Structure formats: structure tokens, C-alpha cells
Amino acid sequence: MASITIEIDGNIVNAKAGERLITITDREGISVPRFCYHKKLSVSTSCRMCLVDIEGVTKPQTACSTPVSDGMKIHTQNEKAKASQKAVMEFLLINHPLDCPICDQGGECELQDVAVEYGSDVSRFSEGKRVVAPSDIGPLIQTDMTRCIHCTRCVRFGSEIAGIMEMGGTGRGEDLKIEPFLAEGITSELSGNMIDVCPVGALTSKPFRYELRSWQMASADSVARHDLVGSNLYAQTYKGLVKRVVSGDNELVNETWISDRDRFSYEGLAHENRLLLPQIKVEGQWKEVEWNVALDFAIKGLNKNALNSRKAHKLGGLASSTATTEEFYLMQKMLREIGCENIDYRLNVNNLDDPIHLDSNIKLSDLECVDNVLVIGANLRLEQPMINLRLRKAQLAGASVSALNVKAFDYNHKTNHSTVSPNEIATILAGALKVILEKNSLEAPSYITNINPSELSINLADKLLDSERSVIVLGEHVINNTQAASIAQMVAEIAKQVNGKTLNLTSSANTLGAQYAHFLPKSKGMNTNEMLAADMSAFLLLDIYPEYDFHHSNSAVEALSKDDVFVVSLNSFNNELVAQYSDVLLPMAAMYETSGSHVNINHDMQSFAAAVKAPEEAKPAWKILKVIADLLELPGFHYENVTQVSEELKHQKIYEHKQDITIDLGKKSSAIETIWMHSAYHSDALLRHAKSLSSSKIGQTNSASMNTATAKELSLECGNTYLGVPVVVSDTVADRCVFVSSNQSTDMGRES
Amino acid sequence: MIISDSAKKQIDIWIEKYPQGKQSSAVMEALKLVQAENDNQLTSEAIQAVADYLDMPGIAAAEVATFYENYNHKPVGKHIIRFCHNISCMLNGADDLITHLETKLGVKTGEVTKDGLISVKKVECLGACVGAPMFQIDDQYYEHLTADKIDDIVDGLK
């Protein structure tokens, strides 16, 4: 676009021809009032508040929709502009109730702020005001639509960003109402952003209703740890409690949006199951004790069961993937210092002998520029909503998206779904690789010489060959595929051949932090599954809940519950099962209560400080680990704050235990394949305790989907359960497969 | 089944008229056809069915269905009288005539007569100002109305 100069309020300003006036005034710091305009949404010009005076144009023009041209002279503050803006304000306030004192938006309301400057102190409108009956649109968003000024930001957010138009304007004129269509309300995984974009108190946070005024709270920068993105957000706190979470801006990470699970997970912090006091188990009875007593007890137990008798190899250290990088680092440093190599965070993987290795080599912000996407084994919308949001943008810009999934998931963008059994994925990829190698006139490795590429393989290969900027996304459903390692290897090879990128989403939360912290067994160490099978004498656990976290949940509980195994649990929540196998319970700080860092898919180490102090006696896990190390008299733990830990680990290279993989396409199981996933709002402990999320539609998801033939083979029908999960018969599922999305524990195991 | 095969066929004709991928442009005709098949009324299910058929969000179809006066969301009579009360008709005495019609039928605007024969609606300008005051019964316009003329017309409805 050509550079031009325009004049705003007498000042010469540089701009590009065709730019919208409001983007220029925003850039230049000139204040123009607005309600419907939002930098990330389309221009609707519905509120009329941004009227400005342009010389040579008789009527005032809306700054949000007016493209500038060379020499244009604009007045944002002159009499005509001000009078127009005031007139619009008067109309907007005609139907707006004067209920600011009981409105949650009060104090952070765009309408209130602008009305102070542009509104009149007396209303000339003496007729009856419009009233809209309240409606319940779900557990996350509170509506008071009488306050709505019809800016349609929420409607545009739904259709343009969330990809699911749920809000709309029904009726006409005086009867226009912004509402969802059906009684099921708002179900989007990004719905909370509607609260942020609403300029008035029509849409507010339901869990936060009538809690506090915005000015009463302190705001702390923080980073969400529920997915691989690490969305930037603000935790707003009052008297040591997180009261609300709102989105932060970071173009490279989450733009200006956050997912509902990042927004509402804070509710779990105040759950009654929080572990608040250190406890020790004496002769089978739990006793609440002082920290020093609990720590002494823990040290004695560890010494007796593992260290004194030179049995450090019988000690195991396991941590949840939501831990901070510093927690991972300190825990592994301590364990390695006492000679224990049994360290792992991979709890939900069936086969750890052939781990998946795949780099993520594309920046989040570049994802929206790709022209071809192949998704393998992921329901991205729910599992990695922020990544899906970027891919959706790419799709809308013309990228082709193909998915190889066990079920035709409800993506919010146009996707060529191929529902395939997990068993077939490796063969399909091998076929595609063969086609690509042939096109590139390269010799095919022996494992694919006998492959006869299917139509699907050829189709995928053609798309990859035709595109310039491909990305192949490997998702979480692949982790327990019998050929997972081979699949990852072939994905890497295909991407290399077509000059594309790869995105490894097979593990979530802060798993990259764990890899940076080397929280993995090296040399002779045992991995999770080996530990569970071995004759261990002690465990050190960081925020683990076996009934949800482990793939082999039953053997995990069994291994931990053995009489002669001493278990030290650092936990943020307590429950019966944890109490049953643990010998010491050390209350640890949860998200927002601890300082540390999260490593996202771009390998950005994003640091955050604690927004609040942990409740009662709970302490940040890094401190607990440091004190345990001190009590064990280990050298090198003289940290005064978590930053020193961060500094120490910052220079570490990511640790991956790479091994050569022999691709064997014959390795298939003949049994019915089950893919078990926790529902998106049950993927970690804090989320599981967040009440509003759990009662939302996504949180309520609990189904084992299978097609008619599979149901028949298993003699199941709707109303039955499969592994304890209600059966849903749907022909969108591949043959002889079951896709479980569950909000309950895995007491029954995850395999048929 | 809310949309019959014959309605689908007719909707398809409308879809054909728009560029590929813009099938949702046929929403007005589709709603009209589906309404005609369902007692001259659009339920939420019917709107959703139209939206599904045109591959558009339910709420987007509902926006259209609730915007226009010619879609009914409550049970209506066999005949619908749409009485214009916009400026030309109003200046020519529409308001009094509407009261007359209401008294004659024993219903208020927006209601249906007890025998289910006639609904009365007040609508905005129907573009027949030259014949004001006027109303529309089903697809037919009646102009230069007087109380007597209204009595004759309404008495003739079966």
C-alpha cells in the first residue's frame, strides 16, 4: 500500500492508503470512542460512536469503516465530531438501564467510561425502556441482555474467531435481542472471550458474579499451564485469592484470546479437597503435623526404605506434566544427586520402550500462514484450542486441512476427515511416503517397498507435494498407538521430503519443560511403566492422581499401595486414593500460587510469578524439594528464589532419549482399538476441581463412541457402559474402534 | 421429517440460483417453503432443519426468520390479515380501521380468532401507499379500505 500523509486534528500523520482511520488514530494515540470496533474482529459499524468530521464530507463519518486517502483532513475533536458523538451516546443510553451499582461491569465498563465524557447528566427520554428477559446460556457466562447495546462483538467473535456462531441478533428494531438460538446455550471452548469483548455488562463472568469490583483486585501477569501454548493472562486477586482470570495480549502466543479452561480453571484453587496441612501416616492413621515433623518423617522413610541401604535404584520419582520447569529441574537434580535415575513424567503412555520423537519446528504465529495441514490423531478444538484457532485462520485463508482420526470430530473449519482405525495410520503414511519418494525420484526404504499406496495415501501425498508450506500435526491420540514411534518417524520423513514443518502435540501442558529439565530416565534409569512393574521400595510423587493420570492406573495404584513401599506425595489436592497409598502428604502450591516457568511449543520459556500465596500451610513445590534436598544434605541447593533455579537450567539443552527405530508395519493388534482421552476439562487436577468448567457441556462429556458394527460385536448398545463409560453409537467412528472421552477416573482401566 | 422431499427439491432450485458455496442465500425461500408445509408456522426445529439443509448456523437462520414479518413463530389462522399501519395508511385512518377489525373479529392484533380462521397482524409499509389504507390477506392486497368494505371482505373469508 502506498504511503500517504493525512491530517488529524491539525497534525500531519503518515499512513497507508486504504487503512481504516481508527487503526491510525489508535496507533497515534488519538482517542476516538467506540463500542463495536475491535481490532481482531470484522468492522460492523453498528454503534456509530466513532463518528469524526472529515473536511469536504458533509456528514460525519465512522472512523472504524472509513479508509483514508492522501491529503484527507480529519477532525476528531471539533464541535461537529463531538456533537455527533454526544448524539450517538444519547441514543445508546436510551435503553440502557441505570443499574451500574449492581452491574458487575461497573468500573471496567466501556459504556460507563465513554458516558462520563460524552453522556448528558439528564436523559431526555421519558418513555419506557426496553427490557429483555434473562436467559441461562450456561455455567460460564452470565447474561443481562437489557444492558446490551447491540454492538455484535460477541456475535462476530463466535462466527469469526471461535468458528461456531452461537450468538445472534434475533428480532428487529426495538425487539432486537442478542441471544443464542437453542436452549443448550453457549458451548464453545473459547466462549469466555465473549465476556472480554463485551463493552458493557451484558455478558459477564458467571463464577465471578457479584464478587468484587475491578479496582479492588490486584492483577498479576501469569501463564496458563493447561496446554502447549502457555497463554498469557492476568490473574486478578483479592486478599490472597484468585478471583478472576482475564486474557493477556501476546501476538506470538495467544494473540488476545484464551481458552475457557485457562480462564476458569482458577476455581479449582478454592476447592474443598485442597490439601492444606502436612500429614503423616502413623500406624495407618493420618495425623496433621508441623512441616518439620512431616519432612523429618519423609526423610526418615526415604532413608530407611531407599537411601541408607544403598537402594536408591529402588526409589522412583514421578511428576505430573503440569509441574513448572523449575519443579521438574529440582526434583530430578535431587534424585540424581542421591543416585536415583528412575525419573519420569510420562504417565499415560502404554509403551515407553519406543517413545515418539518428533520436533515441533513451526512458530505458533506461522501456523496461520500454512497452505496445507495434515492432522493425525487429534481433536484439536478441545485438546489444543489455541493451536486450532491458528489453523482455522489458515484454513479460512485457503489452506487445505486433512485429518486422519478415529472419529470425524466436530472441527470448526472445513476439514477433509478420513476416519481410520489407529491400526491403519502407519500404513497410510507409509503409502504417502512411498508416493512422495517416487515423485522425488528417491529410493524407498525396505519397509515400504511392499506397500501399495491406497487412494487416501496418494491423495494426501499429492496435497503435500502440491503445497509450499505444509505442516503435519501429530496429536495426542497417537501416543498409545502400537506403531506410534514409526508413525512419528514417517511424519518427520514426509515433512522433510516436502519441505514441510511438523508439530508434535502428543503430550501437553509443560512436557517440554520436563524435557528441558531432563526429567526423564537416562542410562540405567527406569521409566514409569518399568517402575510400576519393578519391586520398588519408595516413591517421590509430584501432584499425581493415579486414577486419572496413569495409562496403567490399576497397576499404578497396586504398585504404590504395596505395604513395604514408602510414598512421599507432594499434592495440591487430597483424595481417598492418594491418602490410601501415601505415607506423607506434603501440601503444595497449585497454579497461580507458585513462581516458575512454562515451556511452550515454540520453546519459549515463559516465566511467571506467584499471583497469590498458597493457602494455609501449602508451599511452592520448588521450596519443598529444596528443603528435602537440604535435609538430605545434598550439595548445590542453595537457592534463595526460583529465579536462581531458572538461571541454572536456562542453558540446558532439551533432553531426548533418541534411539533408532525399526519401522515395522506388520506390528498391528487385532483387538478392538480403544483411544482413551480425558475430556478437555478433566486433563489435570486443577481443571477437575474447577466446578463451573465441570458443569459446562464440554466438562459433562462422558462417552465411549463406537459405530453400529463395533457395538454389535461388543454386544453393547446405548445405555450400556464400556470400561465404565456410557456408550454412544455413532457411525462417525472408524470400524472396530472405540473413542472414549471421559470425565471420570479410569478405575476400570483404559483398555478392553 | 420437517422438510419434505418436494420442499427440498424446490429449495434446491433456489440454491442453484446462487454461486456455489453461497447456498445459505436461499434461506428466505427455504424458510417460506418449510413454513408452508408446517401449518404456516416455523418452530425452532424447523428453523434448525432449514439451517442444517443449507449448511449454516441455526442462529443465522433464526436471525432471518425473526427479522421478517412473514414468518410466523406462533400458531396462526388459515388466513392472515396484514394490516399496514405505516404513515400513509395511518394518515388515512388505518388505526381506527384496525380497531374496527379487532372489534369485529373479537381478537387483538397478533391473535387468532377462536375458530382458527383469521389472524390479524399489524405490519409496516407494504408499498401500496397509493391505495391507503390497505391490508393484505394471504397473497392478495385490498386497498382504499373502509369499515364497510372490511366487513364485506372479512365476511367472505372461508
The whole-number average pLDDT for the span B94-121 is: 94
Q: Give the model's pLDDT for residue A747.
A: 64
Going from the C-alpha of A188 to that of each of A154, A326, A683, B111, the distances in angstroms are 12, 33, 17, 38
From B68's Cα to the closest Cα of chain A, the distance in A is 8
Q: Which residues 6+ apart lie within 8 Å of A632 measured at CB? A: A299, A302, A307, A334, A337, A338
- pLDDT reported for residue A666: 75
Domain-embedded: residue B135: yes
Q: Is A181 on the interface with B (CB under 8 A)?
A: yes
Work out the pLDDT band at B112, boundaries 50, 70, 90.
very high
Q: Which residues of A198-207 are buried (b: 16+ CB within 10 A; e: fewer)?
A: bbbbbbbbbb
User: Which of B34, B67, B100 is a domain's end point?
Assistant: B67
Distance from CA of B21 to the nearest CA of A (A): 12
**Does B73 reside within a domain?**
no
Cα–Cα distance, A390 to A367 (Å, whole number): 6
Look-up of cell digits 495409562: A551
| Res. A601 pLDDT band, cuts 50 70 90 | very high
Asked if the structure places residue B111 within a domain, the reply is yes
| pTM score of the predicted model | 0.93
Q: Where are the beta strands (DSSP E) in chain B?
A: 79-84, 118-123, 135-137, 140-142
Predicted confidence band of residue A121 (pLDDT cuts 50, 70, 90)? confident
Residue B72 distance to chain A (closest CA, Å): 12
* pLDDT at site A159: 94
The reply to whether B86 and B152 lie within a common domain is: yes
Answer yes or no: is B74 within a domain. no
Distance from CA of B152 to the nearest CA of A (A): 34
* Residue the block writes with cell 531426548: A656
Quick check: helix, strand or coil at residue A643? Answer: helix
CA distance A185 to A671: 39
Please give the share of chain A, as a percent, with pLDDT higher than 70.
Answer: 99
Task: Please report which confidence band the pLDDT of residue A526 belongs to, taking 50, 70 and 90 as the band edges.
Answer: very high
* CA end-to-end span of chain B: 29
Q: Calculate how close chain B gets to A27, using CA atoms only, in Å.
A: 34
Residues of chain B with pLDDT > 90: what percent? 94
CA distance A160 to chain B (A): 12
**What are A713's three cell numbers?**
460385536
B110 contact A CB<8A: no
Q: Do B91 and B150 reside in the same domain of the chain? A: yes
The amino acid at B123: V
Neighboring chain A residues of B62 at a CB cutoff of 8 Å = 168, 170, 181
Q: Please check whether residues B62 and B94 belong to one and the same domain.
A: no
DSSP labels for A502-530? EEE-SS-TTHHHHHHTT-S--TT---HHH
Q: Cβ contacts (< 8 Å) between A181 and chain B: which residues?
A: 44, 47-48, 57-59, 62
* Chain A contact for B75 (CB, 8 A cutoff): no
d(CA A460, CA A474): 15
Q: Which residues of A touch B59 (CB under 8 A)?
A: 165-168, 170, 180-181
> A96-100: long-range contacts at Cβ-Cβ below 8 A with a sequence spacing of 24 or more?
A96/A147, A96/A149, A96/A200, A97/A129, A97/A146, A97/A147, A99/A147
Residues of A in contact with B57 (CB under 8 A): 159, 164-166, 168, 181
Report the alpha-carbon distance of residue B94 to residue B83 in Å, rounded: 8
Contacts A170 to B, Cβ<8 Å: 59, 62-63, 66-67
Of the partner residues B48, B57, B63, the one whose CB lies closest to the CB of residue A170:
B63
Q: In the predicted model, is pLDDT for residue A19 greater than 60?
A: yes
List phi, psi (to 5°) of A23: -70, -30
User: Is A215 a residue whose pLDDT tops 60?
Assistant: yes
Longest distance between any two alpha carbons in chain A, whole Å: 92
The yes-or-no verdict on residue A752 having pLDDT over 60 is no
Closest chain B residue to A170, measured at CA: B63
pLDDT tens digits along A422-471: 999 999 999 999 999 999 999 888 888 888 999 999 999 999 999 999 99
Q: Nearest to residue A681, comparing CAs of A205, A262, A256?
A: A262
pLDDT in tens, A44-54: 999 999 999 99
**Which chain A residues are closer than 8 Å to B47 by Cβ?**
181
Q: Please give the tally of structural domains in chain B.
A: 2
Task: Outline where A467-563 has alpha helix (H).
Answer: 484-497, 511-516, 528-533, 546-549, 553-561
A116-to-A35, A119, A166, A448 alpha-carbon distances in Å:
14, 6, 32, 72
Q: Domain of B27?
A: 5-67
Q: What average pLDDT does this structure show over A148-176?
A: 94
**Is the domain of B54 the same as that of B92?**
no
Q: Are B147 and B91 within one domain?
A: yes
CB-based contact B58 A172, cutoff 8 Å: no
Q: Does B131 touch chain A (CB under 8 A)?
A: no
Chain-centre distance for alpha carbon A226: 5
Q: What confidence score (pLDDT) does residue A122 get?
A: 87
What is the 3-state secondary structure of A310-371?
A: CCHHHEEEEECCCCCHHHHHHHHHHHHHCCCCCEECCCCCCCCCCCCCCCCCCCHHHHHHCC
In a domain, B101, yes or no: yes
Supply the pLDDT for residue A62: 97
Residue B42 at interface with chain A, using a CB cutoff of 8 Å: no
| A438/chain B closest Cα distance in angstroms | 36
In a domain, B95, yes or no: yes
* A170–B48 C-beta distance less than 8 A: no
**Number of residues assigned to chain A:** 752
Indicate whether B72 belongs to any domain: no
Rounded distance between C-alpha atoms, residue A737 and residue B6, angstroms: 38
ipTM for the predicted complex comes to 0.88
CB-closest option in A165, A171, A172 to B59: A165
Which residue in A165, A169, A171 is closest to B57 by CB distance?
A: A165
- Which of B43, B54, B66, B121 is the best mutation test for A, with the most CBs of A within 10 A? B66
Coil, helix or strand for A175? Answer: helix
Mean pLDDT, rounded, for B112-117: 93
Flag if B57 and A166 touch (Cβ within 8 Å): yes
User: What is the SS3 assignment for A599?
Assistant: strand
Q: Is B48 on the interface with A (CB under 8 A)?
A: yes
Mean pLDDT of chain A: 93
Kindly give the pairing relationship between strand A279-282 and strand A285-288.
antiparallel
Cβ pair A182:B44 closer than 8 A: yes
At residue B1, the pLDDT reads 63
Give DSSP secondary structure letters for A235-304.
Answer: EEEETTEEEEEEE--BTTTTBT---HHHHHGGGGGG-TTB--S-EEEETTEEEE--HHHHHHHHHHHHII
C-alpha cell recorded at residue B44:
425452532
pLDDT at position A671: 85
Same structural domain, B85 and B150: yes
Query: What 3-state DSSP class applies to B78?
Result: coil
Query: For the domain that residue B87 is a member of, what is the CATH number?
Result: 3.40.30.10
Chain A interface, mutation test: which of B54, B59, B67, most A Cβ atoms within 10 Å? Answer: B59
**Which residue from A164, A170, A180 is facing B66, i.e. has the nearest CB?**
A170
Model confidence at A749: pLDDT above 70:
no
Residues of B in contact with A165 (CB under 8 A): 57, 59-60
Biggest CA pair distance of chain B: 52
Q: Which residues pair with B142 in a beta bridge?
A: B135
CB-nearest to B66 from A164, A166, A171 is A171
The verdict on A220 touching B (C-beta cutoff 8 Å) is no
- Given B67, B92, B119, the domain boundary residue is B67
Task: Single out the residue of A427, A379, A406 nearest to residue A735, CA to CA.
Answer: A406
- pLDDT score recorded for residue A307: 84
Are B17 and B63 in a shared domain? Answer: yes
Per-residue confidence (pLDDT) for residue A450, from 0 to 100: 86
List CB contacts (< 8 A) between A180 and chain B. Answer: 59
pLDDT digits (tens, 9 = 90+) for A377-402: 999 999 999 999 999 999 999 999 99
SS3 content of chain B, % helix, strand, coil (to 5): 50, 10, 40
Separation of first and last alpha carbons in chain A: 61
Residues B55 and B118 in one domain: no
* Confidence at A655, pLDDT banded by 50, 70, 90: confident
Rounded CA separation A171/A183 (Å) = 17
Q: Are A507 and A360 spatial neighbours (Cβ–Cβ below 8 Å)?
A: no
- Domain co-membership, B87 together with B153: yes
Do B112 and B52 lie in one domain? The reply is: no
Top pLDDT among B34 and A123 is at B34
A279 neighbors A290 (Cβ within 8 angstroms): no
pLDDT band at A748 (very low <50, low <70, confident <90, very high): low
Residues B59 and B90 in one domain: no
pLDDT in tens, A235-262: 999 999 999 999 999 999 999 999 999 9
pLDDT at A703: 94
Residue of A132, A154, A167, A170 to mutate, interface with B, max B Cβ within 10 Å:
A170
- Decide if B59 touches A, using CB distance below 8 A: yes
Give yes or no for A172 touching B (CB within 8 A).
yes
Residues B117 and B153 in one domain: yes
Contacts of B104 (CB under 8 A, 6+ apart): B150, B151, B154
CA distance A95 to chain B (A): 20
B99 shares contact with chain A (CB less than 8 Å): no
Q: Is A328 exposed, middle or buried (0-12, 13-18, 19+ CB in 10 A)?
A: buried
Contact pairs from chain A to chain B, CB under 8 Å: 35
**Taking a contact as any Cβ pair under 8 Å apart, which residues of chain A between 108 and 167 contact chain B?**
159, 164-167
Of B17, B34, B67, which one is at a domain's C-terminal end? B67
What is chain B's mean pLDDT, rounded?
94
Task: Provide the residue count of chain B.
Answer: 158
Domain assignment present for residue B89? The answer is: yes
Contact B63 A167 (CB under 8 A): no
Closest approach of A367 to chain B, Cα-based (Å): 25
Per-residue pLDDT at B152: 95
**B66 contacts A166? CB cut-off 8 A:** no
Please name which of A542, A513, A571, A604 lies closest in space to residue A325, comparing C-alpha atoms: A513
A182:B63 CB<8 A: no
